[in-house]
Amino acid sequence: MAQITAALVKELREKSGAGMMDCKKALAEVDGNIEEAVDWLRKKGLATAAKKAGRVAADGLVAVASEGTKGAVVEVNAETDFVSRNEQFQGFVSKVASLALSTGGDLDALTASEYEGGKSVADTLTNLVATIGENMSIRRTSVLEVSSGAVASYVHNATAPGLGKIGVLVAVESTGDAAKLEAFGKQVAMHVAAVNPLALDRDSVSAEELERERQVLIDQAVASGKPEEIAKKMVEGRIRKYYEENCLLEQTFVIDGENAVGKAAENLGKELGAEVKITGYLRFLLGDGIEKKEEDFAAEVAATLGQ
């Protein structure tokens, strides 16, 4: 058997664009023959997938899955919105969300978990990239859980059940009626999708974020001609308004337009005869924070033609 050197692996990586371990395995399978190794990688779909890996994937789907007191949300990206309507892709994303329920929000654990037929999620994704022809990636995942109560889910503008562009989970802690808690949690999830709160409550607002807001308000008051000491006192009132606008429990509930979300939970608790607390929420917006490259098609064609 030919010796698989680092130089040989490097050469294959440059030719195929595949990962180091895949290149090493390919060379071992074909006794060190570079050209046969390239063919081996192509047959496995690995070379194709690797070549696509450099392309920006900002579209795709967000998926939610929930089982009583636990819920998971994942974002799986692709290059175009067209893929989000592909049934094979949708099936993959739904299955991944279900698997995420048992991986505790750990992305590495999720990609390493078994998908089906002995293949991992990562291997299945690689094959999907080769089949569909676009770069794809599992970008993030997270899990919410309560000891008793419900974790409700909501998907805004769903492409298919549990799949869409915005996915939300809301954790409602209580010993009250599970069905009513689920229904209330879904309403809160709809509120979160629409309003996008900054934090759950005042304690959840970061000190850095709060200090930045306070300083901006002070500077605005001083700029309007107020003495700094008066400006600081004025700011405290505005900070209370800031909490009401940005903290979920203090925001006006979009469902009734009157009560704060926290008050609505309190009212439900009185109805059920058991305290109801919203203990957390998650909101995934597809592509949030991904800088999508704007392509100049004419320039791309000219570059291809060597002009």
Task: For residue 301, count CB atoms less than 10 angstroms from its CB and return exposed for 0-12, middle for 13-18, buried for 19 or more.
Answer: exposed
Q: Are residues 34 and 148 both part of a single domain? A: no
CA-to-CA distance for 144 and 39, rounded, in angstroms?
44
- Which of 37, 58, 46 has its CA nearest to residue 129? 46
Q: Are residues 136 and 149 both part of a single domain? A: yes
Task: Note whether residue 1 is domain-resident.
Answer: no
Task: Note whether residue 303 is domain-resident.
Answer: no
Task: Note whether residue 300 is domain-resident.
Answer: no
3-class DSSP state for residue 139? strand
Residue written as token pair 């949708």: 90
**Tell me, what CATH number does 23's domain have?**
1.10.8.10
Which domain covers residue 117, as residue numbers?
59-201+248-285
Task: Note whether residue 296 is domain-resident.
Answer: no
Task: Note whether residue 17 is domain-resident.
Answer: yes
Q: Are residues 257 and 242 both part of a single domain? A: no
Other CB atoms within 10 A of residue 73 CB = 26
Burial per residue of 167-188, b for 16 or more beta-carbon CB atoms within 10 angstroms, e otherwise: bbbbbbbbebbeebbbebbbbb
Strand stretches in the chain, DSSP E? 59-67, 70-78, 114-116, 119-120, 136-145, 149-156, 163-164, 166-173, 277-285
Task: Note whether residue 237 is domain-resident.
Answer: yes
Mind listing the pLDDT tens digit of every residue in the chain (307 residues)? 567 888 888 788 767 666 667 788 888 888 888 888 887 776 666 655 555 554 545 689 999 999 989 999 999 999 888 889 999 999 999 999 999 999 999 999 999 999 988 899 999 999 898 888 888 899 999 999 999 999 999 999 899 999 999 999 999 999 999 999 999 999 999 999 999 999 999 999 988 888 888 888 888 887 888 887 787 778 888 888 899 999 999 999 999 999 999 999 999 999 999 999 999 999 999 988 776 555 444 554 455 444 4
Q: Are residues 167 and 42 both part of a single domain? A: no
How many folded domains does the chain comprise?
3
Q: Are residues 122 and 188 both part of a single domain? A: yes
Task: Note whether residue 170 is domain-resident.
Answer: yes
Q: Are residues 46 and 140 both part of a single domain? A: no
**Tell me, what CATH number does 226's domain have?**
1.10.286.20
Task: Note whether residue 294 is domain-resident.
Answer: no
3-class DSSP state for residue 134? coil
